[in-house]
Amino acid sequence: MSMSPTSTYMRIQPRLQRFRSATYLLTLSSTLKTKHSLKALTEPILRAFRISPADNAEFPRGKPAVLPWALSLIEHYASQTEESDIYRRRMGTLTVKELRWYKGSIGMEHEYVVAIVADPQSGFDRFLKLERARDDPGEELVTFPADHSLRRYAHSDDSISSSHSSSESSYYEHTTGGSGECLDAVRQLTELPETDRLIERSTFRPSQPGYRAPTLLELALVAKAVHDNNNYHLWSRQCVWFSTMIVRVMQSDFRHQITHRDSSLTFQNWMIEVLEEGIGTFKARSIYKEQEQITNDILVSFLNSRALVLEKISDAAHRVTRQKDQHQIIDEAVAQRDEAAAIAAEAAASSVEATARAAEAAARAADAEARAEREAELRAEAERRARDEARKNAMSEREVKELRRRIAEFEASSHGRGRSWAR
């Protein structure tokens, strides 16, 4: 049993609507695709208010250790996330404008370094304090009390005695020993120190072309190299040595100008005699002597570390570029597939619509044919009735003619009889 054209059209109509919906969704999904995530769009806004997660990797909150901070910074710039290219571009803009070397003015003769870092994206400078301090807030942070000058226990290089008093030895144990562990820490300051005394200020703004200021990453790598140096671990509580090495290594590798120096605040090549454990004799060791060989060792360690880190960051950038190229190829293939699917859907929709229009036309043709057949039947019925009427009319005419003929015959007959009567 065949379906009528009207029922065929009604059956195809839902399919046509589904094809139209699919085409709309494909077009909408293609329009909504974007290469920048919401995080990448909001990152500059959050950084301006100092609440950016990425900003915290560069300028940490609290007082974390130098080593985790440096390693976190390396991983931050060597990441392969969607936003990593933004981080790497920012890496070159965070430069150290000044390196300030301070001595505490109250209590302990603590020394530390403050780096002034330019942050063009946020529009203001950052202040990072690097220091060696104990991790127990209940203990003193540094080693040398201001009211007991080290000159009591120190000697020049030319006059080192072979023995030392027990009180001097116990003083050394008090100032450099103890159970408290030490921490090479970094902390962001809201302002520069006002009460502490400035020992030295190095400005990294070279006027000669071809020179550049150190980056924040390079400052972190220098601090890491100082932290990793064996001589530093030998004197684990020397904040003075830590600050000195950072300043001297930075000055060794980057063009700078010393815009301030107060020599009265620095130690002058002092030595101290300590009891060498397990031997029973005293041995002189430098407590603040700027040894050129140690500085060079740390500089070489920094240069090697920087080369490896920059290579790691470069490899990450290349991998991200390759991934983006692959993603772009995939996106283009998906877009082409979606476009082909949309074209196919549109063609299918057009085909279904054409089929529906054909079915509708067929239904209308069938209706027209049915109306024509009905009209033909009505016309045939009318013709039949007309013929019947015509036959009836023809019979009536014959009857009238016959009646007229009879009347005429009757009249003729009556006229003949009247003549005969008249005779």
Q: In this model, does residue 27 exceed pLDDT 80?
A: no
Q: How far apart are CA 42 and CA 264, in angstroms?
A: 49
Q: What are phi and psi of 215, to 5 degrees?
A: -90, 170
Tell me what pLDDT residue 273 has. Answer: 45
The residue among 209, 239, 278 whose CA lies nearest residue 101 is 239
pLDDT surpassing 80 at residue 383: yes
Rounded-to-integer distance, Cα 100 and Cα 128, Å: 10
- CB neighbour class for 265 (10 Å; exposed up to 12, middle 13-18, buried from 19): middle
Q: How confident is the model at residue 270 (pLDDT cuts 50, 70, 90)?
A: very low
Q: What is the pLDDT of residue 13?
A: 61
- State the pLDDT at residue 319: 92
Among 176-190, 192-206, 249-263, 384-398, the minimum mean pLDDT is found in 176-190
**Predicted local distance difference test score (pLDDT) of residue 230:** 73
Tell which wins on pLDDT, 333 or 107. Answer: 333
In terms of pLDDT, which residue wins out, 16 or 264?
264
Q: At 146, is the pLDDT very low, low, confident or very high (cuts 50, 70, 90)? A: very low
pTM for the structure as a whole: 0.59
Quote the CA–CA distance of 112 and 101 in Å, as a whole number: 6
Rounded to the nearest integer, the mean pLDDT of the chain is 74
Q: pLDDT for 279-305, tens place per residue? A: 545 455 544 455 677 889 999 999 999
Q: Which residue has the tokens 């100032």?
A: 175
Say which residue, 23 or 92, is predicted with more confidence: 92
**Average pLDDT value for residue range 99-117:** 86
Considering 55-64, 348-357, 395-404, the range whose residues carry the highest mean pLDDT is 348-357
pLDDT band for position 306 (50/70/90)?
very high
Interval 190-211 mean pLDDT: 85
Q: Identify the pLDDT of residue 78.
A: 94
320-360 per-position pLDDT tens digit: 999 888 888 988 888 888 888 888 888 888 888 888 888 99
Spatial contact of 169 and 274, defined as CB atoms under 8 Å apart: yes
Whether the pLDDT of residue 153 is over 90: the answer is no
Give the model's pLDDT for residue 385.
87
Please name the residues in contact with 336: beta carbons below 8 A apart, sequence gap of 6 or more.
none
Pairing of strands 282-286, 182-189: unpaired
Q: Among residues 347, 348, 332, which one has the least CA distance to residue 30?
A: 332
pLDDT more than 70, % of the chain: 64
Can you say how many angstroms the Cα of residue 67 is from the centroid of all Cα atoms in its chain? 26
Q: What is the pLDDT of residue 39?
A: 53
Q: Is the pLDDT of residue 114 over 70?
A: yes
Report whether pLDDT(126) > 90: yes
Kindly tell me if the per-residue pLDDT of 60 is higher than 50. Answer: yes
pLDDT score of 235 more than 80:
no
CA atoms within 13 A on the CB side of 46: 12
**pLDDT of the residue at 294:** 82
Name the pLDDT band for 129 (thresholds 50, 70, 90): very high
Taking 80 as the threshold, does the pLDDT of residue 70 lie above it?
A: yes
Residue type, 249: V
Instruction: Give the residue among 200, 32, 175, 50 at the shortest CA–CA distance from 112.
Output: 200
What is the Cα–Cα distance from 13 to 353, expressed in whole angstroms?
Answer: 8
Is 60 exceeded by the pLDDT of residue 232?
no
Q: What's residue 161's pLDDT? A: 31
Q: Residue 275 pairs with which residues in a beta bridge?
A: 282
- Local structure of residue 7 (DSSP, 8 states): H
CB 86 within 8 A of CB 39: no
Mean pLDDT on 412-419 = 73
Angle (nearest 5°) at CA 242 between 240 and 244 = 65
CA distance 124 to 121: 8
Q: Rounded to whole angstroms, what are the CA distances from 364 to 5, 7, 117, 326, 354? A: 8, 12, 82, 55, 15
Range of weakest confidence among 28-32, 116-120, 378-382: 28-32
